[in-house]
């Protein structure tokens, strides 16, 4: 295949060349394009993508910060093993999800969620305040509207869960917002596809009701049940997949 001229390659990166380069290289690394191969030099990347050396250098620097690359004396820039990648980085998570659909990765996401979100719901009962409670109610109202076809089901569900993370009143929980959002986008699409419907309004309403009633333990339990149901569905689908492959 004849290589694309530099200006065509450059246009495929979008308006922000650095972030376009970051995305292109990040996806290539995560999807295994460079597995068993030498990672291109700065000069090679600059030529291949039709960008300046400063754009290439900045993109490589960002990928290094995300744990995907490392620069070593006499070895140049090399791709790091997957266990070195920063899985809490939303870009890395997004590239992983785009790589292939994986029940194992989905299970791991929800195992992380079940360790974080129930505790956040319990803290929200104590720390939400008027503004935080209003945001949780607004997220739930969006879910109700989505059920009637008046809002986006995915965005509404995410708004509800993110509002609870923020309402926990703990900056460490708030730092998980992007991770949980990325995990939710994949998890909700999965559950909707196999359940044939959107999120369980009653289950989410139970979380809201517990927070409103100042019952932190009930809020914890209700949120835990939501995620446990997702994990159970993943286990069921995984068992069926193994059965069909046998």
Retrieve residue 157's tokens. 């569900």
- Name the H helices within the chain: 6-11, 17-30, 42-49, 53-65, 90-99, 103-127, 129-147, 153-167, 171-174, 177-195, 201-212, 216-245
Whether 227 has a pLDDT exceeding 80, the answer reads yes
Q: What domains can you pick out in the chain, each with its CATH number?
A: 6-84 (1.10.10.10), 101-245 (1.20.120.530)
Whether 36 has a pLDDT exceeding 50, the answer reads yes
Instruction: Tell me how far CA of residue 131 lies from CA of 26, 121, 164, 181, in angstroms.
Output: 38, 15, 11, 21
Rounded Cα–Cα distance for residues 48 and 46 (Å): 6
The count of other CB atoms within 10 Å of the CB of residue 232 is 10
Calculate mean pLDDT across residues 46-67.
Answer: 93
pLDDT-derived band at 2, boundaries 50, 70, 90: very low
Q: 187 and 109 in contact (C-beta within 8 Å)?
A: yes
Q: What is the pTM of this model?
A: 0.79
Rounded Cα–Cα distance for residues 232 and 155 (Å): 23
pLDDT at 161: 95
**Which of residues 222 and 8 earns the better pLDDT score?**
222
Calculate mean pLDDT across residues 42-60.
Answer: 92
Considering 9-13, 14-18, 198-202, the range whose residues carry the highest mean pLDDT is 198-202
User: Which residues is 229 bridged to in the sheet?
Assistant: none
pLDDT at 1: 40
Note the pLDDT tens digit of each residue in 99-123: 766 788 888 888 989 999 999 999 9
Calculate mean pLDDT across residues 202-223.
Answer: 97
Of the chain, the percentage scoring pLDDT greater than 90 comes to 57
pLDDT at 14: 57
pLDDT at 56: 93
Whether 155 has a pLDDT exceeding 60, the answer reads yes
Q: Which of 92, 122, 119 is nearest to 183 (CA)?
A: 92
Note the pLDDT tens digit of each residue in 165-198: 999 999 998 888 888 888 788 777 777 776 655 6
Whether 95 has a pLDDT exceeding 60, the answer reads yes
pLDDT at 186: 78
Whether 71 has a pLDDT exceeding 90, the answer reads no
């Amino acid at each position: 295949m004849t290589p694309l001229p530099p200006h065509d390659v450059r246009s495929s990166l979008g308006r922000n060349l650095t972030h376009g380069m970051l995305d292109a290289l990040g996806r290539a690394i995560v999807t295994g394009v460079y597995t068993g191969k030498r990672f291109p030099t700065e000069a090679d990347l600059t030529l291949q993508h039709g960008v300046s050396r400063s754009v290439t250098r900045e993109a490589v620097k960002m990928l290094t910060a995300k744990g995907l690359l490392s620069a070593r004396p006499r070895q140049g820039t090399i791709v790091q093993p997957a266990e070195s990648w920063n899985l809490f980085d939303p870009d890395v998570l997004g590239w992983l999800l785009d790589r292939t659909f994986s029940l194992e990765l989905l299970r791991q996401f929800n195992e992380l969620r079940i360790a974080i979100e129930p505790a956040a719901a319990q803290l929200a009962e104590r720390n939400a305040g008027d503004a935080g409670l209003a945001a949780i109610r607004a997220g739930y109202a969006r879910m109700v509207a989505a059920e009637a076809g008046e809002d986006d089901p995915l965005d509404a569900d995410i708004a509800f869960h993110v509002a609870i993370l923020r309402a926990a009143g703990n900056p460490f929980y708030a730092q998980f917002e992007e991770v949980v959002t990325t995990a939710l986008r994949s998890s909700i699409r999965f559950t909707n596809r196999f359940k044939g419907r959107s999120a369980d309004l009653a289950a989410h309403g139970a979380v809201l009701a517990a927070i409103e009633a100042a019952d932190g333990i009930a809020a914890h339990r209700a949120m835990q049940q939501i995620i446990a149901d997702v994990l159970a569905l993943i286990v069921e689908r995984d068992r069926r997949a193994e059965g069909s492959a046998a």
